[in-house]
Structure 1
Amino acid sequence: MLLPPIPMLGKHLATLLDKVHDNRQVVVIKRRNEKNVALIAEDELSSLLESVYLLRSPENAKLLFRALDGAQTATEHEDSLEALQAELSGESQATP
């Protein structure tokens, strides 16, 4: 998103913040001779940080992606609580 010069940004800040939130846009503010800064909606940032946290562990990431793949490709079925507990603990148990 193209931004007005920094001195004019204050006049348009409320509108810009609404667009960042409502359109789920990340806006990068480029500053002369300074590091850039990004504006992102708080709930979007929280979601990204949670995803990073959950995917930090390779084993957890593998389980999450396997579950996602299964949810996207599987037909509906039911497992017993015991079968689910066995799967989570790494044991193999036939589903009744």
Structure 2
Amino acid sequence: MYVKAVHITENQVTTVTTYTQARAELAALCDEVASTREPVIIRRRNAEDVALVSADELASLLETAHLLRSPKNAQRLLAAINRAQSRVLSPSSVEELRRELGLGEKEK
């Protein structure tokens, strides 16, 4: 398999490889990126580094950037995240959740 370096910064693990190594093991590298959803940095000699990112992850990042573009929308989204993270919820049974949501008994 390809030789790679792994950098750990602020709770984020980033895989770094060279252009030559990426070319030699492109299929395996693509499989890794698709399965882990973690980008891989490809270092190029005399050129800017690039990142290999799964298409789903890129779409998610672009959508997030679009939603955060509006300052008011960004404030609302970040406030909602803070509210969700600050709540401590106790486990509920399916029956309790059905009652809470006003759903009837499961049909047999």
TM-score range, shorter chain: 0.5 to 0.7
Query: 1:69 — aligned with what?
Result: 82
SS of residue paired to 2:25: helix
Q: Which residue number corresponds to residue 48 of structure 1? A: 61
The amino acid that maps onto 1:19 is E
Q: CA RMSD in A?
A: 2.4
Structure with the larger strand share: 2
Secondary structure of residue in 2 paired with 1:33:
coil
Runs of 4+ in structure 1 off by over 6 angstroms are none
1:20 aligns with 2:33: yes
Return the alpha-carbon distance in structure 1 between the equivalents of residues 25 and 56 of structure 2: 22
For structure 2, which runs of at least 5 residues remain unmatched after alignment? 1-14, 90-99, 101-108
Residue 3 of structure 1 deviates from its aligned partner by 2.5
Higher helix fraction (1 or 2): 1
Q: Deviations over 1:33-66 (max 9, x none)?
A: 1111110001111111111110111100111122
Change (3 A) 1:59 1:32: same
TM-score normalised per structure 2 = 0.58
Give the alignment partner of residue 50 of structure 2, picking from 21, 37, 52: 37
Structure 1: unaligned runs, 5 residues or longer: 79-96
Question: TM-score of the superposition, structure 1-length normalised?
Answer: 0.65
CA pair 2-37 structure 1, distance change in 2 beyond 3 A: closer
SS at match of 1:32: coil
